[in-house]
Structure 1
C-alpha cells in the first residue's frame, strides 16, 4: 500500500464507518479498504478497545485512522462525531454497518427486544444518515452506503425483530436515494445474503462455518471491495441496491 502524506487535514478525503467491532469483521474490513485507497478513516462503535485495535492496524499499515466511539441510537453522539470529523478531512463516504441481531421465536420475543433491534438497525440508520448528510451535502458529493441482509427482503422465524428492522432500513435507503440522489449523493443498500466469515460467526456458530466449507461464507475483504466499487460508480450508472452471496448459497 502506498502511503498518502496529507499536509493539510482539511484536504483529506474522509470515510466514516459506523458499526465497527472486531478486527475480523465487516466494519473493520471496510475501514481497511478505504484506508488502502488513501482515505482518512473514522471508525465508530461501542467498544473503545476494539476501535483502538482497528485504528492501530490501519496506522501500522501506513494508513490514517481515527476512533470515534459512540452509540448509533444516540442522536447526540452521532451529531457530535460528525462535527469533530471536520478537523480530519472532507467527508466523502459514510457507511452504516450497525445492526441489532435479535434472534428468538415470536412468542418468546419481548417488546423490549423487538424495539432494541429497531433502534439499532432502523433508527440508527436514520440518525447516522442525518448526521452524515450535512457534511456530504456541504461537499456537494459523496456516497452514503448501508449494510443490509436477506432478512430485508423476506422475513422468517426466528428473525421477526431483525427482519422488520432490516426491511425498515431498506425502505429508508430508497427514500434517501430518491431525495438526495438528485443532489449528487449516491445512496446504496448492500444485501449481504449469507454468513460472513468473521469473528462473530466463528465464535457463535463454528459448526456452521464447518458445514459451509471452503468459500461458503462471505469474505469480509471481498464484501468491502464491493463497497469500494459502489463508491467508484459514475453517476450516470449508479446502483441503488446490490446483493452479495457465496457461489454455493441458494436464493
Structure 2
C-alpha cells in the first residue's frame, strides 16, 4: 500500500526538499498552500498533487483532508510548515497582525493535527511532524509574535506527542536553529556549510519517520556547525 504524505505550507525551500525525498521513497505526495501557482513546477517534477488551503481556517483544513483522502488516500505522514513572522517594537505592533501570526503559526497547527489524528486513529498508525525555529525556545527582541506562535506550537506538539504515541502515532517537532540555504541565500566562500542545507534537513525528517517506536523522539534540534546555542 502506498503511503500518502501531506505537506502543509508547501513552498520552494524545505517543503520542496521534503516533497522530493518523500516522492523518491515511493510515497504519494500532496502539497497544500494558500497560493498553489508557485507549486506547479514542483508538482510536475515529482508527480505531486497540489491543494489550495488556508491552514488557519477550519473549513479549509477539513476540505483539504477530504480532498487528499479522495484523490490519494488518507495521509499517514503529515508535515506542518506554515508560519507568519511579524516583527517590530512591542509598542508598535498591530494587534490584528499579531493575531494573524498566531493563527497561522500555532492555531493552524492545531487544526491540521486534529484533522490528521482523526484519520490516523482509525488507521491505527501515522506520523505528524511540525517545523519549529530558533524562536521555539528563544524569544528574540522585536520578534514577540513569532516567539509566541512558535512557543505555542511546541507546547501543542509536546502535549499531543504524549497523548498519541501510545496509539501508534508518532508526533515530532523539528527546531530549525539557523538560516536555511536557498537560491537567494548562499554561504560566504570562506564559510562552507554555514547555512542549513534543506536536503539535509529533509533527510533528518525521514530518519525520524523511520524510527522504531521503541525509540521514538518527540523533538530534534538542527543547526549548522557555526551556529551558537
Short-chain TM bin: over 0.9
Show CA shifts across 1:195-219 (max 9, x none). 11125xx3xxx5x854983211111
- Structure 2 matches for 1:124-139, cutoff 5 A? 124-139=108-123
- Structure 2 matches for 1:58-137, cutoff 5 A? 58-59=46-47, 65-87=48-70, 88-137=72-121
* Matched residue SS, 1:91: coil
Aligned residues: 228
Show CA shifts across 1:131-155 (max 9, x none). 1112211211111000001111110
* 1:217 equivalent in structure 2: 195
Task: Determine if the alignment matches structure 1 residue 236 to structure 2 residue 220.
Answer: no
TM-score by length of 1: 0.87
Q: Do 2:133 and 2:150's aligned partners in 1 also have CA atoms closer than 8 Å?
A: yes
Match of 2:25 among 32, 37, 41: 37
Q: Which runs of 5+ in 2 are unaligned?
A: none
CA distance in 1, matches of 2:87, 2:180: 17
CA distance in 2, matches of 1:227, 1:129: 17
User: What is the Cα-based RMSD across aligned positions, in Å?
Assistant: 1.6
Which 4+ stretches in 1 moved above 6 angstroms? none
CA distance in 1, matches of 2:59, 2:39: 20
CA distance in 1, matches of 2:195, 2:180: 6
* 1:13 equivalent in structure 2: 3
* 2:157 equivalent in structure 1: 173
CA distance in 2, matches of 1:53, 1:136: 30
* Matched residue SS, 1:16: strand
TM-score by length of 2: 0.95
CA distance in 2, matches of 1:192, 1:18: 17
* 1:188 equivalent in structure 2: 172
Q: Do 1:26 and 1:198's aligned partners in 2 also have CA atoms closer than 8 Å?
A: no
1:107 Cα deviation (Å)? 2.0
